[in-house]
Amino acid sequence: MFSAAQKKAGGAEKKRNECVLSYLKESGYAVNSKTSTFIPSCLDFRAAFFLSSMPYRKRLYRDGGWLRTSGPGSPEWEGFLHEYFTRDEIKISQEHAQSHSTVFQTLRRQMRFTTIWEWFPEILLQIFDPPPVLFVMGDDFTDPAQRISVVGTRSPASVSLLAARASIARARDENPGIVVVSGFARGLDREAHLGAIENHAPQIAVLGSGFCHIGPSANLDIPQLAAKKGTPFTFLTEFPPALPGSRDSFPRRNRIIAGLSQDTYIIQAPYKSGAMITARYALDEGRDVSAFDHELLQKPGLNEGARSLLEDGAGRLEFSGEYFRIITEPPYRKSPQNEQLEFWEDRLSGRIEPLGGGLYRKIPE
């Protein structure tokens, strides 16, 4: 059951939800649900909320997953549910679905859904445990030739921020149809989303919560920035709207990130990190994994996870000057001063941006 805190719609959470909706509306993300390709013909939102509220059950997936049945309303549906879930679990999920009616009225013009029995990303159907339902907010997306996931630590070094953008720039040059997938977290996830916008690459932000808990708040400018640049942006989650992120939900989010992508880029990751969980999911599903390391990341605790992937045979992300343009402030000299003048002209005009640690990034023209 939802706690009293989760049921309460006031306070800071309400303000953040209003902020999310404001960004989406300003970005032109209101969708006519009657024409969206994501609305299945056989299920309503209450059925989708019920499916997304069901507990994760590994035994179900070992036996073939949700596709063992034809879905809600089929002759075998009741027996299928009782084979894997208790009566109390089914009852609680039904109550959760009923409690989402108010949330639905708030989000119904922005939110759509699709189920595993209707349209579903083909690559996601190939993983061990595809969810029964996906909720979608933002632009529709289809199955492109290639998706890459770009993930890493929430506390990245300056050189890793540059590597995240460089990886996307190069991938975009090699394949103009590339789609970037990340987790909408702080740090490298944010940089991946900004790099996608900078390179006009469509992107998918996979959430570890429902749409009433999109965050962190510092990232709520990303969909608006994408809309201003005309870059397709999509929120995706398997969780019902009112469910907040939790210790269990974020690893489940990571499997979707890896599952949607043919290639996963680990930019900077300690041993124990969400990025390493994503990498393990990708390797388990036979997907390509590449990692980044640099001499500036040798301090203990910074990048042991990515280095362990490289030692185990992961691809190495290396960048030439074309993509990896790190600049340091020229040393002061009385004469000539051309380098200093050029540096500060570029700095004041916004042609370079600070990365921290005395490093600057040359912005592509």
Helix (H, G, I), strand (E, B) or coil at 84: helix
Please tell me the distance from the alpha carbon of residue 167 to that of residue 192, in angstroms, as a whole number. Answer: 9
When divided into structural domains, the chain yields a total of: 2
Q: Examine the domain organization and report whether 352 and 216 are in the same domain.
A: no
C-alpha distances in angstroms, 315 versus 174, 264, 265?
A: 17, 10, 9
Whether 54 maps to a domain, the answer reads no
**Chain position carrying tokens 């000539």:** 336
Residue 216: cis peptide before it, omega within 30 degrees of 0: yes
Instruction: Indicate whether 5 pLDDT > 60.
Output: no
| Same domain membership, residue 270 and residue 294 | yes
Asked if residue 353 and residue 216 are part of one domain, the reply reads no
Could you tell me what percent of the chain has a pLDDT over 70?
Answer: 76
113 located within any domain: yes
Does residue 89 lie within any of the structural domains?
no
Is residue 335 in a domain?
Answer: yes
Which SS3 state, helix, strand or coil, does residue 221 take? coil
65 touches 131 (CB < 8 A): no
- Mean pLDDT for 287-304 is 92
CATH number of the domain at 243, please.
3.40.50.450
Calculate mean pLDDT across residues 174-180: 92
- Cα atoms found within 13 Å of the Cα of residue 6, Cβ hemisphere only: 16
Query: Do 307 and 330 fall within a single domain?
Result: no
Looking at the structure, do residues 208 and 334 belong to the same domain, yes or no?
no
Q: Residue 242 has what pLDDT?
A: 87
On the question of pLDDT at 124 being above 80, the answer is yes
Q: What are the pLDDT digits (tens) for 343-362?
A: 777 777 777 777 665 667 66
353 and 243 assigned to the same domain: no
- Position with higher pLDDT, 323 vs 96: 96
Predicted TM-score (pTM) of this structure: 0.81
Q: Is residue 301 part of a domain?
A: yes
Range of the domain at 288: 4-39+108-316
Residue 322 confidence (pLDDT): 59
* Higher pLDDT among residues 318 and 51, named by residue: 51
pLDDT, the chain, mean: 83
Amino acid at 119: W
pLDDT at 359: 67
Looking at residue 158, its pLDDT comes to 84
Q: Using 50, 70 and 90 to split pLDDT, how confident is the model at 323?
A: low
Please give the pLDDT value at position 337. 63
- Same domain (yes/no): 212, 341: no
Tell me, yes or no, whether 311 and 333 share the same domain: no
Confidence of residue 40 (pLDDT cuts 50, 70, 90): very low
